[in-house]
Amino acid sequence: MNGSTVTEFVLLDFSCSRPVQFFLLTVVLTCYIIILLGNLLIMVTVWSVPRLFQCPMYLFLSNLSLLDMTLGSLAAPKLVTDLLNSGGTISYGGCMSQILFFHFSASTEMFLLSIMAYDRYVAICHPLRYTTIINHQCCFSLLLLCWTGGLIHGICQTVTMAQLPYCGSNVLDNFFCDVPQLIKLACSGIYVAEILIVVNDAVVALPSFLILLLSYAIILATLGGRFGKGGSKALSTCSSHLTVVGLYYGPMIFVYLKPSSNSQADKMVAVIYTVVTPALNPLIYTLRNQEMKGAMGKLKNKCKRLLLPQRW
């Protein structure tokens, strides 16, 4: 045992009027429906169209959709319930499980976004060697590395938090369990835990971010002289990825790296990276990708032919 006397945590909802809470509930519920349907549609499309499934870019995209569904499902259903009830609780075990799966999916997504940036770098800067460098064996090895690294990071964060004793207040100033708020409730061992968490985050976030910056710096420099020779299409593909990267990293940097803390602002930003961003990703990738839209249209027509009776 870690000396904890806390068996559950009280989650504080947004301190705003009921009409505003109802508005937030509507937004979160709508986003969650889009997360499930939009990302599931991308996964089904990629997996059912051999041409897309054999393309590393779309295989990475289907994994991103799976991670977005996982990330959205960690917070959105509980948040909808708590907004209806003006607050809620979560067990100690449930809290630790939420930390594990949140940091597992979030860090895996960081690694995956970096790999997607590297994939675009090879495709644009070394097009003749693309199929040799990013072959199927390399593709699946990179995905395995992503998921394994994310799992290790999630376990490290969870073990660190589980070792802390929680013997005082059990009121968690957030709508889901996360490290910055939970560590404030610990009775002792906070300093060591904070150092371990910072080091752990740095090992995950810093290399991923540097790979992103380096990849896109080279890509943009390469595309500088290619407009009119297919460069605009490549730039459109990269702009979709950069938009997703900005939506993902921006809110997290705000919450985890800023010195001061405003609980209401942190909660609103947390809604963005746990609910809004996973809902926007499928829209960004499908609306700006003609190949994906074409494949979805063919899949829709195929389903119609299978479901509707044949006319003789």
C-alpha–C-alpha distance, residues 177 and 74, integer Å = 10
Q: Between 29 and 12, name the one with better pLDDT.
A: 29
Which class is 8-307 in CATH? Answer: mainly alpha
Q: Are 61 and 69 in contact (CB under 8 A)?
A: no
- What is the DSSP-derived secondary structure letter of residue 91? E
Q: How high is the pLDDT of residue 86?
A: 72
Residue 172, helix vs strand vs coil: strand
Confidence of residue 262 (pLDDT cuts 50, 70, 90): low
Confidence of residue 312 (pLDDT cuts 50, 70, 90): very low
C-alpha–C-alpha distance, residues 222 and 61, integer Å = 23
Q: How high is the pLDDT of residue 226?
A: 57
Q: How high is the pLDDT of residue 104?
A: 94
Burial of 132 (0-12, 13-18, 19+ CB in 10 A): exposed
Task: Indicate the range of 141-145, 155-159, 232-236 predicted with least confidence.
Answer: 232-236
Residue 271's CB: how many other CB atoms inside 10 A? 22
Instruction: Give tens-digit pLDDT for 169-227.
Output: 888 888 888 888 888 888 877 777 778 777 777 778 788 888 888 888 888 887 765 55
Residue 31's CB: how many other CB atoms inside 10 A? 22
Percent of the chain with pLDDT over 90: 21
Question: What is the residue extent of each domain of the chain?
Answer: 8-307
Phi/psi for 91 (5° steps) reads -65, 165
pTM of the model: 0.86
Q: Which long-range contacts (CB under 8 A, 24 or more apart) does 235-241 make?
A: 236/288, 237/57, 237/120, 237/289, 238/120, 238/124, 239/288, 240/284, 240/285, 240/288, 240/289, 241/113, 241/116, 241/117, 241/120
Burial of 1 (0-12, 13-18, 19+ CB in 10 A): exposed
